[in-house]
Chains A and B, each alone.
Chain A
């Protein structure tokens, strides 16, 4: 088995453990490259089916292509697609940069709070109806007790210390100083009522692994990752106002891989362009303790 085969098998093993051990499970799909690779791995794990609902947190500031791509694949791959959002904040307009909110506050509401309340069923969920080809209010408000997330250990310091199965308490908090032991392919699949477990099948993957796998498997990616002739592309996706493009002429998967291996990005961290990582030393660690992905 080569490097990618090993990563693939381990991730599939974890996805299957999660599916068997949790009754109420979902997978967070941001439409970005990592979670799309994860979705692809789920199709492999379950032999072409995806028996796990996909949850998308729609901040409404997502770049429009992302929503198009999401719905196209949802149809094509017969996905059980669900989205949720912070409807109140959006209505009141308390967002960044135009409303009365700092960047971190905005993330805290549109991402962290929306995620928390969509997962625990406090806020509305919308579910794609394949027959009618539209989203409708989902009457299932059951909290998800297992949430599969495409975080990678190489992204940032606190993620380098994550578990494959990582418990969150009642408030969605992550007790990073006291994580459970995890060894010999045995994971934390028992949990107290009211708590839930985050599952990370991609922890051992690097950004380059992800792109080489996309290349090998020919996984369809949203076009934002590629230069459309203006010498710019996104290296990581998020909300329009807060995610910057990078200067690059890579317009195909092959070119992106090449650029990561030898080009100017081979030495620059992926999250370099994201503001929340920098605002203070432990910015992302704090967000993550609070339940940010």
Chain B
């Protein structure tokens, strides 16, 4: 146990149909290479004897009581293993379909896979399904182990049939096995030592194959990508650095590089690369958990994807096409809101379309299904609540993968194959260009907030006509003004005949352009640090989405005034009755205090 083999260490998964002998093979390999802690083998044998059960090598790994009682692996185990060549973490996955989510959990951590097929049973549905999952998880190196050769009298023909059948299956997935190995896990043939029972086989043992897997190169030569985990400023600890933190997913970053954050499109230059108790770095590379500071005080948050201005930019969209696998008991359906997480971004998502559903155990396709069931694989379109930044499968894997969260649980995963047009694309493009070219002031957003003692916010008061929106807005402005706040009531009419003068009047088709300009003007006022009060008739959710494309969603508060709610808007506050200007504006002020936009006097 004495060699640290640097960057050669490898995570490996062993997968395949239930009971085909995965745990046995690994257990046997540990035993035959003297890799078990002293006394462990004897202890397991003793336990088996006490419970009058035949000894199983699998019990070395199947440590849970239920697993031993049922003779089955339930959850993937991490097995630490070492050869003279390198260190391994072997993930022993369960083969039973019930535990597919646990197989995925194990396999997703691996760079290479052993796929086990029982020679006496042949290729079964989860032999194929696991193969399919390995390909979706992006595992490119697979060695197929044909086990229990002792049960078929070490027969070469039986072995060759399985090799032919599974080779053909892999080819349909666009994959090819590194090798096929005939073994008996129970008796040890071709596991750690070459078998004398199969003189027709001249290839590697399982152990030799492990050391032949190659380490997958980290994406060094790809464009720089770093999902922003957070922006830290530990002022309380007497530290003024403002550090953008995250783990480099691809490429590299240097001091002096121009970085662009997506989906916002905001841009700045790397001032320092930060660390704790390490030498000053000028460059940071893929895989490293790091942090950097910027020249300008741009405002960015968790969920943005950092990239370099001199390299290919990521895709930004609120509609995606993807290949997906589903693991949850409840179906994936349309008309339900899920969360989609990619990198550190998390957005609400709806299933818009199912192109086709694939049965991973036999590759049958179905183009008519209206829902996606547990263990299905499918090609789908998702509509997102908000644009996010990502890459496409085949370009940068790390940033093309997402998971779907349903009811607090990760329910499925997928790979993005296409960025599709969405309703806000035309606005977003303008916004990204605006942000990219934004002339940065010396005064940061926090500086202004501190000076004015308020957080700049857009308050949208909406509702049916004649419910008292304008009087409320003006009363609110006055009230906040008297409190010493920097506040401004922006009448829509004041825009119509000025900023919007070139848009043809009365033409409804231009509503979106009006909204876009309103949002751009709001954005300027918010940047100046103001609280802005705007009224609008019957704002819909899609109107709000458009405004949110331009104005930071966290800086918007919506109020619906009046008894009848006539649109699908998801407002922050509903005031059913216009009692008096004073009272209603007081309620809105309460909302601002609750949200910490202005501060309550204690």
Q: Which residues of A pack against B, CB within 8 Å? A: 1-3, 5-6, 8-10, 12-13, 16-17, 19-20, 43-49, 51, 78, 153-154, 156-158, 160-161, 163, 176-177, 179-184, 186, 188, 190-192, 203-204, 206, 208, 212, 217, 260-262, 266-269, 272, 281-282, 285
B75 contacts A206, CB within 8 Å?
no
A293 to B38, CA, bound (A): 25
Proximity bits, B347-383, A CB within 8 Å = 1, else 0: 0000000000000000000000000000000000000
Q: Is the CB of A3 within 8 A of B289?
A: no
Chain A residues within an 8 Å CB radius of B241: 47
User: Are the CB atoms of B77 and A47 closer together than 8 Å?
Assistant: no
Q: From known contacts A49-B234, A158-B64, A190-B339, infer whether A181 and B102 are also in contact, taking CB-CB under 8 Å.
A: yes
Contact segment of B400-408, B493-501, B579-587: B400-408
Q: In the docked arrangement, what's the CA distance between A282 and B47, Å?
A: 11
Interface core residue of A10, A78, A177, A181 (most chain B CB under 10 Å): A181
Q: How far is the CB of A45 from chain B (nearest CB, A)?
A: 7
Residues of A within 8 A of B602 (CB): none
Other-chain contact of A5, B5, B104, B288, B327 (Cβ < 8 Å): B288
Check if B237 is an interface residue, CB within 8 A of chain A. yes
Interchain residue pairs with CB less than 8 A apart (14): A1-B7, A1-B287, A1-B288, A13-B247, A17-B344, A19-B230, A20-B230, A47-B234, A47-B243, A181-B327, A183-B104, A217-B277, A261-B1, A285-B64
- Which of chain A's residues has its CB closest to B229's CB? A16
Chain B interface size range: 35 or more
Main secondary structure of the interface of B (DSSP, over half): mixed
Whole-angstrom distance between the Cβ of A5 and the nearest chain B Cβ? 7
- Whether a CB of chain A sits under 8 angstroms from the CB of B437 is no
- Chain B residue nearest in CB terms to A14: B289
**Would you call B410 and A47 a contact (CB within 8 A)?**
no
Q: How far apart sit A49 and B76, CA to CA, in the bound complex (Å)? A: 35
Cα distance, A157 to B89, chains bound together (Å): 14
B594 at the interface (CB under 8 A from A): no
B302 adjacent to A269 (CB under 8 Å): no
Given contacts A49-B234, A78-B237, contact A163 B288 (CB under 8 A): no
Assess whether A269 is in contact with B64, with CB atoms less than 8 Å apart: no
User: With the chains together, A153 CA to B61 CA distance in Å?
Assistant: 12
Complex CA distance for A281 and B43, rounded to whole angstroms: 10
What is the interface of chain B, defined by CB distance below 8 A to chain A?
1-2, 4-7, 9, 37-40, 47, 61, 63-66, 68, 74-80, 87, 89, 101-102, 104-105, 108-109, 137, 229-230, 232, 234, 237, 239, 241, 243, 245-247, 274-277, 285, 287-289, 291, 302, 327, 339, 341, 344, 401-403, 405, 408-410, 413
Contact B4 A161 (CB under 8 A): no
Which residue of chain B has the shortest Cβ distance to A269 in the bound complex?
Answer: B37
Known contacts A16-B229, A203-B78, A212-B4; 4 additional CB pairs below 8 A are: A16-B246, A46-B234, A190-B405, A204-B78
Complex Cα gap A43–B247 (Å): 16
Q: Which residue of A lies closest to B241 (CB)?
A: A47
Measured in the bound complex, the distance between the Cα atoms of B1 and A176 in whole Å is 31
B64 touches A13 (CB 8 A): no
B474 → A minimal CB distance (Å): 37
Which 10 pairs of residues, A with B, have the shortest CB-CB distance?
Answer: A157-B63, A183-B108, A12-B289, A181-B101, A9-B289, A161-B75, A269-B37, A153-B78, A190-B408, A186-B403
